[in-house]
Amino acid sequence: MEANKKIARIAGLLYLVVVLTGLFSLMYVPAKLIVWDNASVTTSKILAAETLFRLGIFASILCYTAFLLLPIVLYKLLFPVNKMHAVGMVALAVVSVPVSLFNLSNKFAVLTLISKEAYLNVFTTDQIEAQVLLHLNYYNNGIQLATVFWGLWLFPFGYLVFKSGFLPKVLGIFLMAGCFGYLLNFTGNLLCPGYHELGISTFMALPGTIGEIGICLWLLIAGVKNRNGI
């Protein structure tokens, strides 16, 4: 039990890194720097706060590195519950990491475009600004693809939490529901132009947000309990 508590807290710490760096790189930085319908303003904002943009990239790398380690640590904690589901949890989480890291090449391309290197003089300012926003849109599309796997891994993870007997069942339910929230948002964004403006995506993401932040804090603070069912 003491060994499990230690593993749980390591998992909680890694999850906290994922949550904090993810919020910073996926929400805070874009909200400060990107105006999706204005290439000129977006480029000006990035030039004025290039350090923040670079910190966003660095935070993403930390996030994906922690997310690579997190399911491996969770496997050690949860494989006695159901080994097949634990393997599926790890596989679905880990496959998103190379997708997410490769997608960062679009942000590095933005850094190249704003570097003011001499060879970029063949492009006009308008052309460079358009390419900056184009690469940011490419990046956003890559994030949408990664959310498929960010959602899928939550189902076996939630199932294991629900069945474990030493983690709160209600968090397992929220995690499994979060899987479908991610997938429905991906489907909506892909098939329905203007889906994001409907406000449905925030509602769909709520179960996953509650489940992931809840299990993060539970693992970090409470660890595991030596009792069946919570």
Structural domain contains residue 132: yes
Contact 70, 18 (CB under 8 A): yes
40 pLDDT more than 50: yes
Q: What is the mean pLDDT of residues 133-147?
A: 97
Domain containing residue 98? 2-222
For 203, what's the count of Cα atoms within 13 Å in the CB-facing half-sphere? 7
Q: How far apart are CA 134 and CA 78, in angstroms?
A: 42
Structural domain contains residue 227: no
Residue identified by tokens 């880990």 is: 94
Structural domain contains residue 171: yes
Q: How far apart are CA 99 and CA 218, in angstroms?
A: 29
Structural domain contains residue 138: yes
Structural domain contains residue 230: no
Q: What is the pLDDT of residues 161-178, one digit of tens each?
A: 999 999 999 999 999 999
Cβ neighbors of 75 (< 8 A, separation 6 or more) are: 86, 87, 89, 90
Count of structural domains within the chain: 1
Q: What is the mean pLDDT of residues 60-84?
A: 97
Q: What is the pLDDT of residues 75-126, one digit of tens each?
A: 999 999 999 999 999 999 999 999 999 999 999 999 999 998 988 889 999 9
Structural domain contains residue 228: no
Question: What pLDDT score does 202 carry?
Answer: 87
Structural domain contains residue 22: yes
Structural domain contains residue 229: no
Q: How far from 211 is each of 105, 157, 158, CA to CA, in Å?
A: 30, 11, 8
Contact 40, 52 (CB under 8 A): no
